[in-house]
């Protein structure tokens, strides 16, 4: 039988997910282009910083020094780039489709709020 081990490293990943969820919770209060764009950038950035800090802190791959931390983040940059790019693209597609649907099918016109 398969069992998933939940250890310290998995807890760090779940902390990253929780922070992303909190960013989404913040977004629900006032939806605007600026807030959606900020959330699309903040989510992957927060997850990148938290998860890779956990890799550095709890792993043996990088030395427990500032150089080790910077090396860990540098090694993860290609993954961060892909995460950031996909978040921006999917955010534009999904929120754009939502806006088009509201305007065409529900007759709702919205105004963009600053901030």
Around Cβ 43, how many Cβ atoms within 10 Å? 23
Q: Would you state the structure tokens that stand for residue 38, as one six-digit string? A: 């900020």
Q: Are 91 and 40 in contact (CB under 8 A)?
A: yes
Summarised one tens digit per residue, pLDDT across range 43-98 is 999 999 999 999 999 988 999 999 999 999 999 999 999 999 999 999 999 988 98
| Its pTM surpasses 0.75 | yes
* Distance (Å, whole) CA 49 – CA 31: 25
What pLDDT, on the 0 to 100 scale, is given for residue 110? 56
Confidence of residue 105 (pLDDT cuts 50, 70, 90): confident
């Amino acid at each position: 039988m398969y069992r998933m081990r939940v250890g310290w490293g998995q807890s760090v990943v779940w902390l990253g997910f929780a922070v992303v969820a909190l960013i989404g919770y913040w977004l629900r209060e006032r939806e605007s282009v600026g807030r959606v764009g900020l959330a699309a950038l903040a989510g992957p950035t927060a997850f990148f910083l938290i998860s890779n800090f956990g890799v550095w802190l709890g792993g043996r791959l990088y030395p427990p020094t500032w150089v080790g931390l910077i090396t860990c983040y540098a090694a993860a940059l290609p993954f961060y780039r892909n995460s950031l790019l996909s978040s921006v693209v999917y955010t534009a597609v999904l929120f754009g489709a939502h806006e088009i649907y509201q305007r065409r099918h529900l007759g709702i016109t919205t105004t963009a709020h600053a901030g």
